[in-house]
C-alpha cells in the first residue's frame, strides 16, 4: 500500500498532465488546423504560438517558421501576415517582404480550418469514448422525478415554497420536454431549465414541463425561482434512482433492522421510494414515527419494520452505505458531438436572450475549465475524454462567432470586403482588432474572477463536509434543482 501523501501527489501530477494534454492539446489542434490549411494554400507563415505574450522558449524551423510557447495560456495563434494585421496581439512580424494578395476562398478555408480541426478532434475522442463507454449512473440517465422538495433556498438564504410542489408535479412523473425542448437525461434537463427564458406577461419566470404520468402525457406550468449560491433557475426536484445497500457496518442500526448488502429499496409505507432523501425525511421528523420499508432481496420483496424508538446516535440512513446502479453508455460519436453542439448553442442563445437569467458570470474561463479538467481527471480518463469533447466543440463554435479577433470576425471582414469589391481599410480592421482584444481579455478576466469564487466556495463546502459528523459517502444532498 502507498502512503496517502504519495497517492495524493500522484493524483495531482496526473490531473496536471490531463490539463496540459487535453486542454492545451485542444488549443494546439485548433492552431494546427490554421497552420496546415495555410501551408496547403501556399501562405507565408511567420509564427506558430501556443499562448500569447512573450515566449517562454522558441525556435525557428527549417521551414522558416518560428515555433514558440508563450506565457499567457489563453489560446494561441498562427501569424499569417497575408490574412490580417494581428500585430497588436501577436507582436510585430519579422517579415518585411512584399507578399502576394490571396483569394477570398483561401481566407475562408484557412480561417475555418481551426474550428474544423477541433470538431475532427472531438469526433476522434468521441469515437474512443464510444468504444470505451461513458460512465453514467441511474440518476443521471433518467428524467423521472425521484423527490420534490417542500421548499427551496434563494440566494439570500430565504426559504420559499418549491415551485415544483406548487405546480403539482409528483414523484414518479417522467419529464419529456421543457418549453418544447426534448430532454433525455438529468444533466440535459437541468441545463435546459437553467437556460430557459420563458416568462409570463407580468415578467414571472415560467417553464412548461411536458410530462408523462401513469402513461398519460400532460403539460404542467411551473414558475421557477432563482435559487442557490449560483442564483440560477430551480424548481425543487431531484432525479429518481434505486437506492441499493452497499455496506452494513457491524452493530449498526441497519444491521439490527436486518438490512443486507444488495438490498434494493422499493417503497416506504407502500409508496414507491425513488430517492434516499425521502427516507431521510422519514427518519428526521420532529416526532419519530414507525414506518415500513419494502426492499427487494434476491428478487423477492421483504418488509422491514422501522420502529419509532430509534437509537439517538443513528444517522438519517441507519448507518449503512448506499449506491445506485451504474453502467457504461456507448453513444455513437456523431450523436455525442451533436449533443454538445446543441448544448453550446443553447447557452450562447441564452446569453443574448433578454428574458434569460444567464449572464457572462455564469460562463467558465481558462481557470474554470482547468478546474473542470482537474475534477474529471480525479474521476477517471473517460470523464476527461467527455470534457475534452465538450471543450473542443465550444472552441469551434466560439471561434466562429462574427466577433473581431476571432476567426468568425476575420471571415466577416473578408466577406464584407468581397461584397463591396475591395478590402476594408487596414486601419479600421486594426482598430477593431485592438478594441475587441481588450474586451476579450477583460471578459476572460471577469469570468475568471467568478471561477475563482466558485472554486473557493466549493473548497470551503468540501472542507465543512469533511469536518461534519460522518454520514454515508453516497448520501445525496437535497439540491433543489
Reported confidence tier of residue 475, pLDDT bands at 50, 70, 90:
very low
For domain 244-323, the question of CATH label 3.40.30.10 is answered with no
Q: Which residue has the higher pLDDT, 473 or 335?
A: 335
**Confidence band of 97 (pLDDT split at 50, 70, 90):** low
Task: List, for residues 204-258, the tens digit of each pLDDT value.
Answer: 999 999 999 999 999 999 999 999 888 899 999 999 999 999 999 998 899 999 9
pLDDT tens digits, 286-310: 888 899 999 999 999 999 999 988 8
Checking if the pLDDT of 472 tops 60, the result is no
Identify whether the C-beta of residue 268 lies closer than 8 Å to the C-beta of residue 278: yes
| Domains of the chain, residue spans | 141-238, 244-323
pLDDT(277) > 50? yes
Residue 479 scores a pLDDT above 60: no
pLDDT at 10: 63
> What is the distance between the alpha carbons of residues 462 and 61, in angstroms, rounded to a whole number?
48
The model carries a pTM of 0.85
User: In the block, which residue shows the cell 501556399?
Assistant: 42
Q: How far is CA 81 from the centre of its chain?
A: 37
Residue of 254, 249, 258 whose CA lies nearest to 276? 254
Residues contacting residue 53 through CB under 8 Å, at least 6 positions apart = 70, 71, 72
Would you place residue 84 in the very low, low, confident or very high pLDDT band (cuts 50, 70, 90)? low
Q: Considering just the CA atoms, what is the radius of gyration of the chain in Å?
A: 27
- Per-residue pLDDT, 469: 45
Helix, strand or coil, per DSSP, at residue 120: helix
pLDDT of residue 85: 52
What pLDDT score does 126 carry?
Answer: 97
pLDDT in tens, 457-468: 888 877 776 655
Beta-sheet strands, E only, within 275-387: 291-297, 300-306, 321-323, 326-329
Residue 9 above 90 pLDDT?
no
Q: Give the residue among 283, 282, 306 at the shortest CA–CA distance from 294.
A: 306
Q: Which of 33 and 366 is assigned the larger pLDDT?
A: 33
Q: Do domains 141-238 and 244-323 have the same CATH topology?
A: yes
Q: How far apart are CA 274 and CA 268, in angstroms?
A: 10
The phi-psi region of residue 177 (left if phi > 0; otherwise alpha if psi is between -120 and 50; otherwise beta) is beta
More reliable by pLDDT, 448 or 426: 448
Q: Which fold has domain 141-238?
A: Pdz3 Domain (2.30.42)
Which cell is 327 given?
453502467
Question: Which pLDDT belongs to residue 309?
Answer: 85
With 70 as the cut, is the pLDDT of residue 177 above it?
yes
Amino acid at each position: 500500500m502507498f502512503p496517502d501523501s504519495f497517492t495524493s501527489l500522484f493524483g495531482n501530477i496526473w490531473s496536471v498532465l490531463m490539463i496540459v494534454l487535453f486542454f492545451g492539446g485542444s488549443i494546439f489542434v485548433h492552431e494546427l488546423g490554421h497552420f496546415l490549411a495555410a501551408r496547403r494554400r501556399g501562405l507565408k507563415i511567420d509564427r506558430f504560438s501556443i499562448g500569447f505574450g512573450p515566449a517562454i522558449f522558441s525556435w525557428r524551423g527549417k521551414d522558416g517558421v518560428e515555433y514558440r510557447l508563450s506565457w499567457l495560456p489563453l489560446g494561441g495563434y498562427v501569424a499569417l501576415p497575408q490574412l490580417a494585421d494581428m500585430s497588436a496581439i501577436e507582436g510585430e512580424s519579422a517579415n518585411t517582404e512584399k507578399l502576394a494578395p490571396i483569394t477570398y476562398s483561401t481566407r475562408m478555408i484557412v480561417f475555418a480550418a481551426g474550428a474544423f480541426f477541433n470538431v475532427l478532434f472531438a469526433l476522434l475522442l468521441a469515437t474512443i469514448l464510444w468504444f470505451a463507454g461513458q460512465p453514467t449512473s441511474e440518476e443521471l440517465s433518467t428524467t423521472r422525478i425521484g423527490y420534490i422538495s417542500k421548499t427551496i433556498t434563494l440566494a439570500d438564504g430565504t426559504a420559499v415554497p418549491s415551485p415544483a410542489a406548487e405546480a403539482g408535479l409528483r414523484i414518479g412523473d417522467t419529464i419529456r420536454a421543457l418549453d418544447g425542448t426534448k430532454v433525455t437525461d438529468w444533466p440535459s434537463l437541468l441545463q435546459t431549465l437553467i437556460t430557459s427564458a420563458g416568462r409570463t406577461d407580468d415578467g414571472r419566470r415560467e417553464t412548461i414541463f411536458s410530462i408523462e404520468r401513469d402513461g398519460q402525457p400532460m403539460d404542467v406550468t411551473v414558475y421557477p425561482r432563482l435559487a442557490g449560491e449560483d442564483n440560477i433557475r430551480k424548481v425543487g426536484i431531484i432525479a429518481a434512482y434505486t437506492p441499493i445497500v452497499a455496506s452494513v457496518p457491524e452493530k449498526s442500526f441497519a444491521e439490527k433492522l436486518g438490512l443486507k448488502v444488495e438490498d434494493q429499496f422499493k417503497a416506504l409505507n407502500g409508496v414507491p421510494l425513488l430517492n434516499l432523501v425521502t427516507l431521510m425525511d422519514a427518519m428526521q421528523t420532529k416526532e419519530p414515527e414507525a414506518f415500513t420499508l419494502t426492499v427487494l432481496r434476491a428478487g423477492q420483496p421483504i418488509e422491514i419494520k422501522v420502529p419509532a424508538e430509534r437509537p439517538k446516535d443513528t444517522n438519517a440512513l441507519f448507518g449503512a452505505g448506499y449506491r445506485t446502479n451504474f453502467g457504461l453508455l456507448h453513444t455513437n460519436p456523431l450523436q455525442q458531438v451533436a449533443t454538445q453542439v446543441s448544448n453550446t448553442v443553447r447557452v450562447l442563445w441564452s446569453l443574448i436572450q433578454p428574458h434569460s437569467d444567464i449572464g457572462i458570470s455564469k460562463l467558465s474561463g481558462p481557470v474554470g475549465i482547468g478546474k473542470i479538467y482537474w475534477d474529471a481527471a480525479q474521476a477517471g480518463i473517460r470523464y476527461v475524454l467527455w470534457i475534452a469533447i465538450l471543450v473542443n466543440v465550444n472552441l469551434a463554435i466560439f471561434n466562429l462567432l462574427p466577433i473581431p479577433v476571432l476567426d468568425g470576425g476575420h471571415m466577416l471582414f473578408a466577406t464584407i470586403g468581397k461584397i463591396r469589391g475591395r478590402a476594408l481599410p487596414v486601419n479600421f480592421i486594426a482598430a477593431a482588432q485592438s478594441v475587441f482584444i481588450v474586451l476579450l481579455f477583460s471578459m476572460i478576466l471577469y469570468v475568471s474572477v467568478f471561477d475563482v469564487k466558485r472554486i473557493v466556495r466549493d473548497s470551503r463546502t468540501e472542507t465543512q463536509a469533511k469536518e461534519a459528523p460522518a454520514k454515508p459517502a453516497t448520501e445525496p444532498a437535497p439540491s433543489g434543482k
